Amino acid sequence: MLGAIYARYSAGPNQTDQSIEGQVADCTAYAKRNGIQIVEVYADRHISGKSIAGRNEFQRMLYDAEQHRFECVIVWKIDRFGRDRQDIALSKMKLKRAGVRLLYA
């Protein structure tokens, strides 16, 4: 199975690129355990998850999903995917319509 990883961190005193590195490491380990080949990593740095607006890597991931570039997206946990319930639901629906599964490491 081909997969992608999406990682994000918000602005804040304890948030750094290491936050991204840790998420990607955990998601990569999950992929390896489950036989998923990672073809792309999308990462929004220093961007809130309150909205999908302005999250360029998230938007690129959704577009690539619609282009059938992978079969699943792995996120560390749901709050990295987003914080707004409506945005989460709509984005999950877009992935589902594209035949892409959302998995949590």
Tens of pLDDT, residues 16-44: 556 899 999 999 999 999 999 999 999 99
Q: Where are the domains of the chain?
A: 2-104
Q: In what order do the strands lie in the sheet with 101-104?
A: 37-44, 2-8, 72-75, 101-104
Judged by average pLDDT, the poorest of 5-9, 11-15, 25-29, 96-100 is 11-15
Taking the alpha carbons of 69, 36, 105, 98 in that order, is the dihedral positive or negative? positive
Tell me what the mean pLDDT of segment 6-17 comes to: 73
Residue 76 tokens, joined: 């560390």
Give every CB contact of residue 9 below 8 A, 6+ residues apart in sequence.
Answer: 15, 16, 17, 19, 20, 23, 44, 45, 46, 47
What would be the CATH architecture of the domain defined by 2-104? 3-Layer(aba) Sandwich (3.40)
Residue 95 tokens, joined: 């992935």
Tens of pLDDT, residues 45-93: 877 667 778 899 999 999 999 999 999 999 998 888 888 899 899 999 9
Q: What is the pTM of this model?
A: 0.90
